[in-house]
Chain A
């Protein structure tokens, strides 16, 4: 059997295992819920991981359209980028996929060197894309933090007295007296 065939024939099982292992990266009680609940609004993490991985798999191994994977992965990586993972754990999906596919091919005795090269290449595209998206998400997080600080909502603390600041911004002559 060729690896490309295995990837199509056993798609459902491979994906179930892949999704399961990615969701196992969460604390046990949380991951049980993330795996079980189907409603996309009641369970954004589980739903996003599952739908992203299914979509990416189809693009890489069925349709052969790797350029489409960015859009499928973005939300999942945004989620992982603000959870308490190390960066390598946050974007470990490509490595987990390699492990899963290796397990299946071992069971099915797939020895297809050509096929492995092609698979590795796609898995690497996935890994690089995840890494890029992770870096972009972290960048976005810091930009969000900076934008908030600049917005004035942060004036409450650490900036000294806002009244005094306003005095500095607004020329004294413009200040009118209040008739209380």
Chain B
């Protein structure tokens, strides 16, 4: 056997024989330094935001977010705390002990390369460090160096490398070029979830105060007012009332939702973007119409006024706290169960992590639809049902009157949002609803939908405008599949059930396929709903003329 030079061995960890068909990097990847330039990084959190989290969100967890400070990713001095390397290594040790999955993910990758070409960031950039196998290797190399016997003795020869400032920069660069979408995990024969490696990477970065504002400020707002937008109760309520005014103008029906009403049967929670930002507001109008149509005994909460949970992008403690708020509100109001709107990561937190953090929610009842009597045993532990499951069940039982022709002015395709599709298996319910509310529907190609869906490219708190170029290249595989159905079938509407997607796909389409609009599924439901006593509809919920009404 040829003797491999020691300095090459560290590289050969990613060069080993390929068991699968995928590609693994052949280059000396860790010799290429991460360089920050305007446009390739998201802005760091403002000092006062970290101060807020330290003092108000987690006074009981000093150090969770490092020292509040100003720092500049482009500078060579990040103003890191004394002994920051030790802080990271201790943090890693603590997490290896706490999360068995992390230890397994660190140990069991065989570098087969099956995941390598499955990440949209790699497909859009060609940067090998965006291959999931290498993204994980950024952390794994440090793990190997300090936590495995081979690494401790052989160091680089065994694929280990010490925690240095260069490594920290790579982490900040590439753990924020992963949207935790889990597409790679679908193709990994060992089920390694690189998204969870990114999550731990980000947690560790937080310990030394390396973070981004687009995540930390909405998280602070959520802690303070209950939602990302920082809306106070009166504003939250007023916005919904404005939407009711629009509904009245379009349908002639006055919808009267209630707020913070104790004793309602159901608490409805949705992302605040549905209440405040386009095109989410049209989706919210769809919810309002649907609940009025079926006479649901429900309430909105102006405190649990956010389904989104930026804790998922931050650390376990934050995720737990923000998730807990929804349940605290359900308890306070004395509802029986929770109905959840079109959100992505709220559902990921619910399905993957809620039970171990805050569950089971035994003070609530197993959700049962008061209209159809269906018991949602799949939500027996979390007591929270997705609006698409709920709507599909209503349609299945013939409890809603629909006129799909009212969406004839649109030709629609369906984007499976990563979190609802891959993390909770919500694949067929939205399609069933879609079939019933619109006539012109075309699927995107098979390897870009369902479990293999491509991310919008801007999830996990990367939907900030200073990295627009990065987002556009990460979203290329998604946009490319939309382009295909647009060219073939004249698709002009991209529907989904995720608030972040609705915002980010809007920009993605604006750049790649400018004639394609983005909407939520419930907006299409709202258009199709035939309300009792309504006037003839001339426009859809965004005041766009219906087919045949263009004149």
Contact = CB atoms under 8 A, between A and B. Distances in A.
A78 B126 contact: no
B125 interface: yes
Given A27-B126, A156-B228, A157-B214, A175 B238 contact: yes
B380 to A, nearest CB: 31
Contacts of A149: 465
A151 B278 contact: yes
Given A41-B481, A153-B463, A176-B241, A144 B511 contact: yes
A89 B15 CA distance: 30
Q: Which of A48, A78, A79, A156 has the most CB of B within 10 A?
A: A156
Interface string A22-58: 0000111111111011011111110010000000000
A30 B127 contact: yes
Given A30-B127, A41-B448, A157 B213 contact: yes
B27 A28 contact: yes
A84 B125 contact: yes
Given A143-B510, A144-B468, A178 B230 contact: no
A145 B123 contact: no
B302 A178 contact: yes
A159 to B, nearest CB: 9
Give the contact-size bracket for chain B.
Answer: 35 or more
A39 to B, nearest CB: 7
Given A44-B480, A45-B126, A27 B27 contact: yes
Q: Which of A30, A161, A166, A175 has the most CB of B within 10 A?
A: A30
Given A154-B465, A162-B235, A45 B476 contact: yes
Contacts of A155: 229, 276-277
A148 interface: yes
A114 B468 CA distance: 46
A178 B238 CA distance: 9
B356 interface: no
Interface in B226-278: 228-235, 237-239, 241, 259-260, 273, 276-278
A82 B480 contact: no
A90 to B, nearest CB: 12
A156 B218 contact: yes
Contacts of A161: 230
A144 B507 contact: yes
B484 interface: yes
B445 interface: yes
Interface residues of A, number: 52
A165 B122 CA distance: 40
Contact of B128 (A30, A34, A41, A43): A30
Nearest to B481: A41
Contact of A41 (B29, B217, B229, B445): B445
B469 interface: yes
B25 interface: yes
B309 interface: no
Contacts of B23: 29, 32-33, 36
A163 interface: yes
Interface string A119-162: 00000000000000000000011011101110111111100011
A173 interface: no
B231 A162 contact: yes
A170 interface: yes
A33 B506 contact: no
A32 to B, nearest CB: 7
A84 B25 CA distance: 20
A34 B23 CA distance: 11
29 contacts: A27-B126, A29-B23, A29-B29, A29-B126, A32-B23, A32-B26, A41-B480, A43-B117, A44-B123, A44-B124, A78-B511, A82-B476, A140-B510, A145-B468, A147-B510, A148-B503, A149-B465, A155-B277, A156-B217, A156-B228, A156-B229, A162-B229, A162-B276, A163-B230, A163-B231, A163-B232, A176-B237, A180-B260, A180-B302
Given A79-B476, A83-B125, A83-B473, 11 more contacts: A27-B126, A29-B126, A30-B128, A31-B126, A39-B447, A42-B117, A79-B473, A143-B510, A148-B465, A155-B277, A180-B302
Interface of A: 26-34, 36-37, 39-45, 48, 75, 78-79, 82-84, 140-141, 143-145, 147-149, 151-157, 161-163, 166-167, 170, 175-180
